[in-house]
């Protein structure tokens, strides 16, 4: 037995070394950070938490908000749950633990202590507090234990409720979210990059009745490759879930997704990607599914890996956050250029459209050559909000919990600083500006979707026709800030938006 185990470990080590060597040849100077990210994913390796000085220098949040380190040295910190008393619970799958960060009663910006609530679990991930119980989704089962939210303590024995969950292959995590109907919803990712699952519980969202003493898991929605984050919109009571698109189809395809989850709904995977695009490997002969498969309500950029999401209570925030969800983009590990590594806000508009905006950036340096240390210093995972409106963000790369607060005084100060800056005049449409736009168009490989001469075989062509009859420069630049899916939201500067609009409108 020991000899077999030794051989297995040696084989795994050999494969890992070969993989790292291949990545080194592919990425060159970027190898070190990518190797660390892979080690984080595989083994739970983590880097040190950033200092407050690093946060102040390289992190950006909207005017009026401030980001600080709330807790550090938590290992591979993943999902969060906030108690009614203000204690923050954190799952740590690699440690087999659930840790409680005690409420900040002395208002020094830090938890008043920490304690391990549960240990010895099998890769605990999803957490849910409901009716005096703490529910925990381990990789192969779901259990619960009595939890006194006032005292911040567990009581009695841990009870296993549901067993037999599959955790083989990829995407072994299970996430939990309770509904107002008393059911608890369970997401389970696929066992593979792309395949037809034999186990219907994989690549799906199921649910069980929390009022049953011996609950059974029932399938709720399917065709969801890896929906880690789920939450209910407070104004609709509709369930939304993030979903990670498949790999190995290039840097920019397919998009990751936000889906509105309906009972019995099928969301396409593995046959359909994104917005009704048949998969090049599994889509042949599956055209009939296009009539019933549900498309996303929003598309994230490919390989951004959206994980946790949370609809926020924005009553004490600016008006634009009153119908908003925050989403943690864990970041790419398989793109030639890194992308994601930030928290974004999704804003529901009166016409039903969603706008995506950056909320917290800086986990990925905009220029890895800057003297800021690592180009990647964090990978956000989940989001929770306290009764005081503060937002907490977990990071499983540095083992950190960040706290983001809003202050009207800070917002006024930021507004005054912006008002003091001279306003630049708009650029005239020049040949040089159009050439800059052509460079932007080429840099983001826009032709792979919009130019038949450069289109890829695995995606449909959407020619850009008669743009000047539908847009002027200002409206087209506004479109770039909130593009219609499946077009990704690219991180274009104001100058780049002006240049790209000039190029597209003057080169039909």
pLDDT digits (tens, 9 = 90+) for 407-455: 987 666 666 655 555 544 455 667 778 778 888 888 887 877 887 776 6
Phi/psi for 248 (5° steps) reads 70, 30
For the residues of 147-193, what is the DSSP string, one character each?
EETTTTEEEEEEEEEE------SS---EEEEE-TTSEEEEEE--SSS
Q: 315-319 long-range contacts, Cβ below 8 Å, gap at least 24?
A: 315/389, 316/389, 316/406, 317/389, 317/406, 318/62, 318/64, 318/406, 318/411
Q: Cα 20 to the chain's mean position, in Å? A: 25
DSSP string, 446-487: THHHH-TTT--TTS------SHHHH--HHHHHHHHHSPPTTS
Q: Could you tell me which residues come within 8 angstroms of residue 165 by beta carbon, excluding any fewer than 6 positions away?
A: 138, 139, 140, 141, 142, 174, 188, 201, 217
Structure tokens at 9: 């470990």
Is residue 484 predicted with pLDDT exceeding 90? no
Q: Is the pLDDT of residue 100 over 60?
A: yes
Q: What pLDDT sits at residue 219?
A: 98
The alpha carbon of 62 is separated from its chain's Cα centroid by a whole number of angstroms, namely 19
pLDDT at 453: 72
Number of helices followed by number of strands (H, E) in the chain: 9, 26
CA distance 201 to 220: 10
Tell me the pLDDT tens digit for each residue of 200-223. Answer: 999 999 999 999 999 999 999 999
Q: How confident is the model at residue 369 (pLDDT cuts 50, 70, 90)?
A: very low
- Please choose, from the candidates 494, 462, 466, 464, the residue with its C-alpha nearest in 3D space to the C-alpha of residue 478: 494
Write down how long the chain is.
508
pLDDT value at position 441?
A: 84
Give the E-state strand segments of 18-62 in sequence order.
none
Chain-centre distance for alpha carbon 456:
27
Compute the average pLDDT of residues 105-121.
96
Residue 242 pLDDT exceeds 90: yes
Q: How far is CA 462 from CA 272, 290, 453, 503, in A?
A: 18, 18, 12, 17
What does DSSP say about strands 298-300 and 342-348: parallel, antiparallel, or unpaired?
A: unpaired
Cβ 381 vs Cβ 309: under 8 Å: no
Any idea which of 74-88, 110-124, 236-250, 369-383 has the lowest mean pLDDT?
369-383
Beta bridge partners of 209: 183
User: Where does residue 276 rank: exposed (0-12), middle (13-18), buried (19+ CB within 10 A)?
Assistant: middle
Identify the pLDDT of residue 254.
Answer: 95
Q: What is the mean pLDDT of residues 41-50?
A: 71
Mean pLDDT of 103-123: 96
Which residue is it, tokens 């999803």? 126
Dihedral sign for Cα atoms in the order 121, 123, 127, 130: negative
pLDDT attached to residue 457: 54
Q: Are 227 and 205 in contact (CB under 8 A)?
A: yes
> H or E segment at 65?
strand 65-71
Indicate if the pLDDT at residue 5 is higher than 70: no
Residue 503: per-residue pLDDT: 85
Checking if the pLDDT of 462 tops 90, the result is: no
Report the percentage of the chain scoring pLDDT > 90: 66
Q: Give the pLDDT score at 504.
A: 87
Instruction: Tell me the three state secondary structure of residue 101.
Output: strand
Q: Pick the range with the lowest mean pLDDT from 47-51, 252-256, 270-274, 392-396.
A: 47-51
How far does CA 197 lie from the centroid of its chain? 24
- Range scoring the smallest mean pLDDT among 25-39, 83-97, 155-169, 311-325: 25-39
pLDDT in tens, 315-361: 999 999 999 999 999 999 888 889 999 999 999 998 888 999 999 99
Tell me the domain boundaries of the chain: 2-42, 46-73+303-421, 431-506
How far is 170 from 304, CA to CA, in rounded Å? 17
What is the rounded average pLDDT of the residues 233-249?
96
More confident residue, 11 or 337: 337
Q: Does position 198 have pLDDT exceeding 90, yes or no?
A: yes
Q: What is the mean pLDDT of residues 111-127?
A: 97
Q: Let me know: does 55 contact 405? Beta carbons within 8 Å.
A: no
CA 117, 120, 123, 126 torsion: positive or negative?
negative
Pair 333, 37: CB distance under 8 Å: yes
Residue 360 main-chain phi, psi, to 5 deg: -140, 115
Global pTM reads: 0.80
Strands 88-92 and 80-82: antiparallel
Q: Which of 87, 83, 74 is nearest to 395 (CA)?
A: 74
User: If you search the block for the tokens 């998009």, which residue do you land on?
Assistant: 255
Average pLDDT over residues 68-96: 97
The token pair at 29 is 């100077």
Rounded CA gap, 83 and 103, in Å? 9
Q: Which two tokens stand for residue 164?
A: 């037999």
Given a contact cutoff of 8 angstroms between Cβ atoms, the answer to whether 252 and 296 are in contact is no
Decide if 223 contacts 293 (C-beta within 8 A).
Answer: yes
Could you tell me which residues are beta bridge partners of residue 299? 257
Please write the tens of the pLDDT for every residue from 150-192.
999 999 999 999 999 999 999 999 999 999 999 999 999 999 9
pLDDT at 464: 80
- 431-506 architecture in CATH? Orthogonal Bundle (1.10)
Mean pLDDT across the chain, nearest whole number? 87
Q: Where residue 1 falls among pLDDT bands split at 50, 70, 90?
A: very low
């Amino acid at each position: 037995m020991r000899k077999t185990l030794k051989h297995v470990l040696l084989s795994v080590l050999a494969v890992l070394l070969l993989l790292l060597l291949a990545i080194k040849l592919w990425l060159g100077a970027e190898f070190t950070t990518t190797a660390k990210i892979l080690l984080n994913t595989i083994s739970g390796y983590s880097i040190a938490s950033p200092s407050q000085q690093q946060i102040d220098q390289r992190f950006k949040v909207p005017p009026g908000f401030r980001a600080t380190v709330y807790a550090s040295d938590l290992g591979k910190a993943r999902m969060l749950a906030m108690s009614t008393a203000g204690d923050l619970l954190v799952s740590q799958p690699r440690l087999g633990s659930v840790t409680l960060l005690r409420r900040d009663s002395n208002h020094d910006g830090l938890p008043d202590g920490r304690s391990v609530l549960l240990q010895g679990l099998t890769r605990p991930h999803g957490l849910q507090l409901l009716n005096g119980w703490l529910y925990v989704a381990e990789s192969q089962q779901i259990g619960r234990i009595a939890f006194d939210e006032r005292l911040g303590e567990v009581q009695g024995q841990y009870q296993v409720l549901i067993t037999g969950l599959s955790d083989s292959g990829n995407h072994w995590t299970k996430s939990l979210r309770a509904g107002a109907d008393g059911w608890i919803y369970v997401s389970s990712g696929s066992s593979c990059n792309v395949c037809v699952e034999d186990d219907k519980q994989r690549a799906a969202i199921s649910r069980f009745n929390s009022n049953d003493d011996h609950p059974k898991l029932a399938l709720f929605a399917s065709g969801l490759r890896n929906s880690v984050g789920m939450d209910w919109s407070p104004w609709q009571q509709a369930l939304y879930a993030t979903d990670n698109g498949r790999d190995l189809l290039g840097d920019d395809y397919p998009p990751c997704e936000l889906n509105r989850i309906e009972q019995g709904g099928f969301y396409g995977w593995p046959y359909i990607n994104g917005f009704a695009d048949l998969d090049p490997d599994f889509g042949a002969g599956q055209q009939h599914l296009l009539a019933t498969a549900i498309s996303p309500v929003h598309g994230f950029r490919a390989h951004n890996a959206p994980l946790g999401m949370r609809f926020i209570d924005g009553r004490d925030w600016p008006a634009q956050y009153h119908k908003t969800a925050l989403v943690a983009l864990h970041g790419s590990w398989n793109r030639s250029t890194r992308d994601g590594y930030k928290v974004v806000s999704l804003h529901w508009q009166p016409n039903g459209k969603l706008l995506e905006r950056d909320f917290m950036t800086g986990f990925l340096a905009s220029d890895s050559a800057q003297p800021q240390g690592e180009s990647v210093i964090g990978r956000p995972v989940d989001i929770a909000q306290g009764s005081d409106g503060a937002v907490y963000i977990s990071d499983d790369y540095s083992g950190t919990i960040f706290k983001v607060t809003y202050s009207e005084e800070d917002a006024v100060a930021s507004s005054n600083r912006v008002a003091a800056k001279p306003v630049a005049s708009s650029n005239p449409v020049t040949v040089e500006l159009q050439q800059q736009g052509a460079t932007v168009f080429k840099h983001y490989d826009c032709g792979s979707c919009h130019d038949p001469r450069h289109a890829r075989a695995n995606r449909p062509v959407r020619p850009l026709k008669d743009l000047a009859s539908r847009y002027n420069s200002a409206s087209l630049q506004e479109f770039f800030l909130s593009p219609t899916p499946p077009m990704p939201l690219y991180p274009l500067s104001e100058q780049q938006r002006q240049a790209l609009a000039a190029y597209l409108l003057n080169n039909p």
